[in-house]
Amino acid sequence: MRLMVIYCSPRKNGYSARYLQEAVAGYREVHPDAEIVPVYLNDLNMKGCQHCGACKADDAKPFCIIDDDLKTVLQTTLHCDAVLWGIPNYMSDYNAQAKILIDRYYGYMGKESRLPAAQKSAVIMVQGNPDEGLYKQVEEFMMGFLGQRGRRVAYGLTIGGCRGKDGSFATDEGLSRAREIGKKLAT
């Protein structure tokens, strides 16, 4: 089994990372020998979608012609059994690093998804506001995006009250919920 873990936060020791680590531990409970493919978006040389349309051609391979680090990430995605996203909520929405990757997925979407049908996805959203329902539309968008309109299995989790610069204040409840997402992703 191969799990790609996409760290969208620029903080490698922040809440997103801490909860992703716990979700990976849950995934490993089911698949102890799983290969984990970490992707730290903030470390990558990446460019936004140019809306050139090359990815929509019937014979488009690779699906995106932009020659940057995301090209490899997008190609690797095709060979993963599951993809786990960790995204901080900035200004009532997902952050810029996540947005760049989401836009670059454009070539995988359409009438027929180019992503593996059996691939599962999950997103863990973290936010400073303790009201986890306040920005539910952000998680719902990600669920629709990751679920490709019901064609693929997707799970979502929002964890509120994530204040401070590091994940050392992660709650036991939040960690338990993240671990459960990892287990669901693995089954």
The predicted structure's pLDDT at residue 177 = 96
The pLDDT assigned to 114 comes to: 73
pLDDT at position 89 is 92
Task: Find out whether the peptide bond into 62 is cis, omega within 30 degrees of 0.
Answer: yes
Nearest to 121 by CA among 162, 151, 160: 151
pLDDT band at 79 (very low <50, low <70, confident <90, very high): very high
Q: How much is the average pLDDT of 22-45? A: 98
Point out the least confidently predicted range of 8-17, 34-43, 105-114, 130-139: 105-114
CB atoms within 10 A of CB 164: 10
pLDDT given at position 5:
98
Answer yes or no: are the C-beta atoms of 168 and 10 closer than 8 Å: no
Q: Distance (Å, rounded) from C-alpha 130 to C-alpha 4?
A: 28
Domain ranges of the chain: 2-186
Superfamily of domain 2-186: Flavodoxin domain (3.40.50.360)
